[in-house]
Structure 1
Amino acid sequence: MNIRRGKGLEASELSELAYRSKAYWGHSDEFMEACRDDLTLSPASIERRKASRRNRVYRVHRQKIAVVGSEDRKGS
Structure 2
Amino acid sequence: FYLRGNDYMHRSELGYLERAPVTAVEFYERAVELDPEFALAWAALADAHIQIYSQAFDPDASRLEAGRTAAERAL
Is TM more than 0.5 here?
no
Larger strand percent: 1
Q: Greater CA radius of gyration, 1 or 2? A: 1
TM (normalized to structure 1)? 0.31
The higher-RCO structure (CA 8 Å, 6+ apart) is 1
Larger helix percent: 2
TM (normalized to structure 2)? 0.31
